[in-house]
Structure 1
Amino acid sequence: MGKIENGINGGFTGSVGAVTGYYLNGKWVIRSKRRKSIKNKTGSADQKACRSRFTIMQTFLSPIVAFIRIGFNLESKKRMMTAHNVAKSYNMLNAQNAAGEIDYAAVRLSFGKLTGAEDVQLEHDDVGVHFSWKDNSNGNHARKYDQVMLMAYDVDNKTAFFETSGARRFKERDSLEIPSFYKGKTFHTWMAFISDDRMEISMSSYCGSFVF
């Protein structure tokens, strides 16, 4: 619906049929509505490839959104974007090739400048997966009480087990329980640290994969 401005001799704003009116640089302007071309609807080869990469990354991140919302929370506030969109943008750029294949070792599930994990070791048994690391707080009391964030993700079956408020950095060990139902499944793992006040976070570290 259009709206007449300044009486019958004036211009109009809005749409009437196939015509749109608006005020631009001191003049009333009208133009016909743009129609989507068949090419834009179907997409070029490059557009299709981009859409495919987007869908693959979207599918990868969807089961772990709760983790991502914490992991990319601080960076999302700086960029004024959602945490999910920041994570997707970063990982499409840094952990995905042109064919859409994801390099799990390059994936980041958290983003920040806090000191990350060192000397990470991974073990697993019938109960779950056990992470150990070196206490690298180096006498810094605040860093000593940073909490670990852990992720074990069965990418093929889109199943994840994670912890966002785990053991303190100085404890040097924490675990994720995995139900016996998932025996034989392959899990990829990541870990990060977050400060006690939630105002600092580290970049996540890829810890490798294992068959449960």
Structure 2
Amino acid sequence: MALSPYGPHGPVIGKIGNLVSYILNGQVVTRTIGHKSNKHSKNQLANYQSMAVTMELLSPMLPFINSSFEIEARGTVKNQHNLATSYNKKQALTGEYPNIRVDYSKVVLSYGDLAIAENLKMVKTDTGLQISWDTEGGLAHDMVMILVCHPQRAQVSSSINACRRDAGTYFVKLNEEDLEQQLETYICFKSANGKQISNSVYLGNLNGAVENEQEKEEREKYTLVKARFDQVATDYLWMLELDHGRLTSTKAFRVLEKEYNVLKQKLEHMPGKPG
């Protein structure tokens, strides 16, 4: 049932057929609803995985992006998480289904026209990361925002108000274990009055991209299935070449052909593929 609280000529709130309307940030939004098919195309599966990878990336960053995308979200029907999801799903992913993953060098944590500092540097020490920048450009009292992503722990270390731009440096304290793991680091600048923000800048990776336990398990499973497929494929193609109308009519060939097709299909949708 739908309601018309704004009169007969105003927007309808509720469900009509396969449409549902509701108020979002002061505006009426209408979307379709309905039953989803159990069968999905490869493009649909790729889209689902892209969304899942993006959500996994952004989930621990929520407090940071609530601040970094707050300016851009003002006066729109989108919230900060919507914006971060849209940017990173389009720009920060690499690979093809079922091996879609994050390209950390392309992660977007803010968009804006505030000046970015020059000569950005990051140095690893025994107790953390020393990040520095030139203080010229922008305003001295612009605030610095820094985020360090820990992919292996699915966590981040962030400082929304790290220091002022004119400080020229900021130290991120990390424990010994964190300093040995994969680290991905970002910085952006926000005006003191909260009306402007810069583009986020990727400061770089430390310790390389380390394979987590899930990725290791997926790679090992893929390797086993691929090895069996290569063996079956060799026998299958050999029997085709020597057929002359005899071998392909046997039960042994039909069993081999079925396994060949099953394994081939499985590899197409199996994560863990090298590269």
- TM, length-normalised to structure 1: 0.76
Return the alpha-carbon distance in structure 1 between the equivalents of residues 61 and 174 of structure 2: 16
Considering fraction of residues, name the structure with more strand: 1
- Mapped pair 1:157 → 2:169: no
**What secondary structure sits across from 1:42 in the alignment?**
coil
Larger Rg, first or second structure (1 or 2): 2
User: Normalized per residue, which structure has more helix?
Assistant: 2
Question: Residue 135 of structure 2 contacts residue 165 of structure 2 at CA under 8 Å; is this kept in 1?
Answer: yes
Aligned-residue offset at 1:168: 1.2
Structure 1 residue 43 corresponds to structure 2 residue 40: yes
Whole-Å separation in 1 of the counterparts to 2:38 and 2:78:
27
1:176 aligns with: 172
Letter in 1 for 2:167: K
Matched, 1:116 2:112: no
Contact 2:142/2:164 (8 A) holds in 1: yes
| Overall identity of the aligned pairs, in % | 25
Provide the residue aligned with 1:105 in structure 2.
Answer: 105
Query: Take 1:159 and 1:107, find their aligned partners in 2: how far apart are those partners?
Result: 15
Q: Structure 1: 5+ residue runs without aligned partners?
A: 2-13, 21-33
Counterpart CA distance in 2 for 1:42 and 1:146 is 51
The equivalent position to 1:147 in structure 2, one of 138, 143, 157, is 143
Q: 2:124 corresponds to which letter in structure 1?
A: H
Please name the residue that 1:90 is paired with: 87
Question: Paired residues, what number?
Answer: 178
Distance 2:175 2:64 in 1: 20
Equivalent residue, structure 2, for 1:4:
none
- Cα distance in 2 between the residues matched to 1:210 and 1:93: 25
Name the structure 2 match of 1:74: 71
Q: Which amino acid aligns with 1:65?
A: L
Cα distance change on mapping 1:78 and 1:98 into 2, 3 Å: farther
Contact 2:128 2:174 in 1 (8 A): yes
In the TM superposition, residue 174 of structure 1 has moved relative to its aligned partner by 0.5
Provide closer, same or farther for how the CA distance between residues 131 and 183 of structure 1 changes in structure 2, counting only shifts above 3 A: closer
Structure 2: distance between partners of 1:45 and 1:156: 28
Bigger shift: 107-116 or 47-56? 107-116
Measure, in 1, the Cα distance between the counterparts of 2:62 and 2:88: 14
Structure 1 ranges of 4+ moved more than 3 A:
34-37
What is the deviation of 1:176? 1.0
Residue of structure 2 in register with 1:132 after alignment: 132
RMSD: 2.5
Equivalent residues of 2:58, 2:85 under 8 A apart: yes
The Cα of 1:194 is off from its aligned counterpart by 0.6
Aligned to 2:182: 186
Asked if the contact 1:117–1:205 (Cα under 8 Å) also holds between the matched residues in 2, the reply is no
